[in-house]
Structure 1
Amino acid sequence: MSVIEQEDVRGGKAVFKEISADDDDIQPTVIESLCMNCYENGSTRLLLTKIPFFKEIIISSFTCAHCNWSNTEIQSAGRIQDQGVTYTLRVRSKEDLNREVVKADSATTRIPELDFEIPAYTQKGSLSTIEGLLDRAAAGLEQEQPLRKATAPEVAEKIDEFIDKLKKLKDVESEFTLVIDDPSGNSFVENPHAPQKDEALTVSHYKRTPQQDVQLGIKAEEDVEEEEGEKPGNDINTLRNEVLMFNTNCPECNAPASTNMKLVQIPHFKEVIIMATNCDSCGHRTNEVKSGGATEALGTRITLHLTDPSDMSRDLLKSETCSVLIPELEFELGMAALGGKFTTLEGLLKDIKDLVVSKNPFICGDSGTSDRAEKLELFGKKIDRIIAGEMDVHIILDDPAGNSYLQNVYAPDPDPEMKVEKYERTFQQNEDLGLNDMKTEAYQDESVDS
């Protein structure tokens, strides 16, 4: 059972409650706390709540009646995500400064043009805007300036010059880059053009290193050292003939659950690994597909022209490296957004609608605007029309790793409505897949020579 579903023994109420204007029951918890500014006693208010379509958070606000000092912060109360995330934003106009940002305390913030970095765990988590992040960074640098001017005037002068450069970024006289790298996966940068692709924002997911797992408290240093020393050797025939089961936690309520894994051969394609998780506590079910083979020598682009409602029943394998495009809707779903999936074309479109419309955290509450909500509602209706066969569109699966598949109902003959293209990957695509620095041939000989 998740924290949200657990009941408080004293009151019989949920610990985390969704924010609602009609609920007078939501009251913060007030705790007497020491003020770190004047060292008198102040008060901290804690509110355990849930942002609709996002996750559980803890909002804390401190105020001191003696010196009037105040401080606010948020902390994620949800689970650490399966993958880390990196947001790279090209700030081109003052409108970009209004983008909402959820920055976890484990996130690192960088501005390459200024060679400026805010390391992880040096700031508390915050729900702010790009402009708010810049103001907070400048305020942090200004905090110790009086002491520096008295003890190290030259250093203080250089920091003043840097603070001026940081503040001038808000004028957006020239483009600059903002990078937020969060190994916990709990940070977020708003896309104001949703559901269309944001040309200025790049989102990439990655697998955490063992050292990052240690920093997040997921693993102990001793366990990482033991794992690095082990050299496991799995029998591939065992994977082909058996359904393997291992223990995990439910991604919805974090209760103990079991995941089944099976190696499956897809006709006219290749072997894939299907993993399915079923939670007995909340009933949540999820499945994920990973390629069972190597990265192909060429990328694959599959274009299907939808001409009949029966196309919705085509089997589809979308790998984690595959992006989905619908040119008629000016829509693009980036890599890793929905993870790996083995489903039908109708199932993929429904998942896209849920991700963009139903589970979008920025269309409700204080973050929502009527224009944005209407735009996303219209997009959802267009997806429904595509599923019903009322719109003439093309679906494009672009996988630089070549591990995605769309069923050819005319197999082994060519499909007149489907076009499969093989292409050479660009340097950047190889970089994203980690292939540029990968060496699998003659490395033993080089190590002997060295």
Structure 2
Amino acid sequence: MSVISEDNVRGGTVFKDISADDEDGQPTVIESLCMNCYQNGTTRLLLTKIPFFKEVIVSSFSCTDCNYSNTEIQSAGRIQEQGVCYTLKVNSKQDLNREVVKADSATLRIPELDFEIPPFTQKGSLSTIEGLLDRAIAGLEQDQPVRRAADPEVAEKIDEFIKKLRKLKEVEGDFTLVIEDPSGNSFVENPVAPQRDEALAVTRFKRTAQQDMQLGIKADDDLEEEPASNDLETMRNEVLVFNTNCPECNASASTNMKLVQIPHFKEVIIMATNCDSCGHRTNEVKSGGATEELGTRITLNVTDASDMSRDVLKSETCSVLIPELEFELGMAALGGKFTTLEGLLKDIKDLTVSKNPFISGDSGPTDRVEKLREFGQKLDKIIAGDMNVHVILDDPAGNSYLQNVYAPEPDPEMTVEKYTRSFEQNEELGLNDMKTEGYQEQN
């Protein structure tokens, strides 16, 4: 029986990348009770990472006495700050092979059939679109013998509905699959990553009070007093240190936070976390001000290697586009960063190529592996100054920044556009339901 040692936890090696070259990435085997025949069975636990997603725990139970088996998946991370909704337009059989992580808190809907699987009615699963349909069919067929005896009319209607679900697997026509998860821990694969998937729409939303109660999140109604102006001045001149847990090994770590004024821009908050146990280091940047009235789109024509030294502030609401590579990085990826253009491109390469476990060994399709490697080589050419491209920072909140090396004069290679946000962009930023006026006290 495999054992998860304390040294592995402290060293941050519990969650393994999915790789055929990793001989240590074996599942943990535990002898456990079979709930079908009450004999001893075997449970295998695999702690792994899903590319472009997060850490998960995959468990599989099997019993040799009654041949009962069961698999499920649990998120190994915390509940996210926002919920997530994936809307996929399935128009080919290839879409049925997309990998899907469905958390137990997720709702699955197929609008064309008026079909819905409510949250917390199924265990979390790591499967494919076809696997989700098979699981739904198996669930409906489970009690059909009893229904045929007790209520033949209802059983006949369910049989007709099962036929419709089976017909979806033939993909004779388009249908829509919606997975809405208030915990933010569900996931639908983008097979053309790092490019944008035109068939898949990903939106994030603020949870309702009822969804917070379902997830067991306790609402905090305590209002914190705003710091006085002299306290803000103290914060600007000092580095604040507070205790936290390492996101990799969960050991005690410290986070440093400081208010920084960026020239020709605004004030931002820079946070850095260092873990002495596993050596993990991370940094994050958040805007120190309010959301701007207009969105900002910054376009830089990269013509020389010296452009790589430009300072970049990418907020958590900013997306990055490189039209020449047909590449788009969504606003939720990489989080907020204060770095250089070279550092931003290297982080993109690490996210899509270097730290992608699906391009190591023989665990991924050859065409996808080759496509990602070619993409990494093009990024290297851009960093070396051997390839001219346009880098676009599109931030609907207006809180991103790219250094103008000619300041205060205009930069001939850079354009900054201000635009009015769409209703959908305001919805993602939570501005449509936000009211900041009309709160004066009435005499």
TM-score of the aligned structures, taking structure 2 as reference length: 0.87
1:304 is paired with a residue of what secondary structure? strand
Decide whether aligned partners of structure 1 residues 262 and 282 sit closer, same or farther in structure 2, where only a CA change above 3 A counts: same
Matched, 1:262 2:258: yes
- The 1-side partners of 2:121 and 2:352 are apart by 33
* CA displacement 1:189-226 (0-9 Å, x = unmatched): 21111121111122344565676566555x5x4xx3xx
TM-superposed deviation, 1:187: 2.8
Pick the aligned partner of 1:306 from 302, 327, 333. 302
**1:120 match:** 119
- The 2-side partners of 1:25 and 1:193 are apart by 27
**1:87 match:** 86
* CA displacement 1:132-152 (0-9 Å, x = unmatched): 111111211221222223333
Q: Alignment identity in percent?
A: 72
Matched, 1:61 2:70: no
1:340-419 → structure 2 map (5 Å cutoff): 340-364=336-360, 367-419=363-415
Q: Is the 8 A contact 1:84 1:205 kept in 2?
A: yes
- The 2-side partners of 1:110 and 1:164 are apart by 17
**1:101 match:** 100
* CA displacement 1:204-250 (0-9 Å, x = unmatched): 44565676566555x5x4xx3xx214343333542443233332211
User: What letter is aligned with 1:70?
Assistant: S
Pick the aligned partner of 2:223 from 209, 230, 253. 230
TM-superposed deviation, 1:443: 5.7
- The 2-side partners of 1:211 and 1:304 are apart by 44
TM-superposed deviation, 1:366: 6.6
Unaligned runs of 5+ in 1: none
Decide whether aligned partners of structure 1 residues 389 and 172 sit closer, same or farther in structure 2, where only a CA change above 3 A counts: same
Q: Is the 8 A contact 1:325 1:333 kept in 2?
A: yes
**1:34 match:** 34
**2:170 match:** 171
**1:246 match:** 242
Q: Is the 8 A contact 2:91 2:175 kept in 1?
A: yes
Pick the aligned partner of 2:43 from 45, 50, 53. 45
1:107-256 → structure 2 map (5 Å cutoff): 107-206=106-205, 215-216=214-215, 219=217, 221=218, 224=219, 227-235=220-228, 237-242=230-235, 243-256=239-252
Q: Is the 8 A contact 1:141 1:159 kept in 2?
A: yes
Decide whether aligned partners of structure 1 residues 428 and 48 sit closer, same or farther in structure 2, where only a CA change above 3 A counts: closer
1:283-322 → structure 2 map (5 Å cutoff): 283-322=279-318
Unaligned runs of 5+ in 2: none
Moved more, 189-198 or 341-350: 189-198
TM-superposed deviation, 1:371: 1.2
- The 1-side partners of 2:313 and 2:368 are apart by 31
Q: Is the 8 A contact 1:263 1:274 kept in 2?
A: yes
Moved more, 47-56 or 160-169: 47-56
1:228 is paired with a residue of what secondary structure? coil
Matched, 1:333 2:329: yes
Pick the aligned partner of 1:279 from 275, 281, 296. 275
- The 2-side partners of 1:88 and 1:120 are apart by 17
Query: How large is the Cα RMSD of the aligned pairs?
Result: 3.0
TM-score of the aligned structures, taking structure 1 as reference length: 0.86
- The 2-side partners of 1:20 and 1:376 are apart by 18
Q: Is the 8 A contact 1:240 1:262 kept in 2?
A: no
Q: Is the 8 A contact 2:21 2:361 kept in 1?
A: no
For these two proteins, the number of residue pairs brought into alignment is 432
Decide whether aligned partners of structure 1 residues 20 and 214 sit closer, same or farther in structure 2, where only a CA change above 3 A counts: farther
1:194 is paired with a residue of what secondary structure? coil
